[in-house]
Amino acid sequence: SQQGEEDPQALSIQEGENATMNCSYKTSINNLQWYRQNSGRGLVHLILIRSNEREKHSGRLRVTLDTSKKSSSLLITASRAADTASYFCATSQGGGSYIPTFGRGTSLIVHP
């Protein structure tokens, strides 16, 4: 099964800066999702972007999808200490399945 791979594995920034995380995948997808996981907690769904969409926004989050490059990016603008978490991308292939396959995540630390 295909798997998204996030890059970088770890990212450390100061509060107020922007954070960009990337996700690459190998085969065609139906949709791509981004999730956040705070330490010791479950995953929280952030944004789902379908294969025919190029960009989506939600508050301070901006997700782009480039199906020709098989990649997506998650931008968090004006980051806050509370954004410290691991961020995962998950790809769904469709074809009746749509079970998202997760990458290993990007660990983001935002310093106050």
Partner 1 sequence: DTAVSQTPKYLVTQMGNDKSIKCEQNLGHDTMYWYKQDSKKFLKIMFSYNNKELIINETVPNRFSPKSPDKAHLNLHINSLELGDSAVYFCASSPWDRAYYGYTFGSGTRLTVV
Contact segment (CB under 8 A) with partner 1 among 19-27, 32-40, 62-70, 71-79 equals 32-40
Euclidean distance between CA atoms 38 and 25, whole angstroms: 24
CB-based burial of residue 7 (10 Å sphere; 0-12 exposed, 13-18 middle, 19+ buried)?
middle
Euclidean distance between CA atoms 95 and 46, whole angstroms: 23
Among residues 29 and 110, whose Cβ is nearest to partner 1? Answer: 29
Near partner 1 by CB under 8 A: residue from 21, 31, 89, 110:
31
If one asks whether residue 33 binds partner 1 (CB under 8 A), the answer comes out as yes
Relative to beta strand 85-92, strand 10-14 is unpaired
Contacting positions for partner 1 (CB under 8 A):
30-31, 33, 35, 37, 40-46, 48, 50, 86, 88, 92, 94, 97-102, 104-105
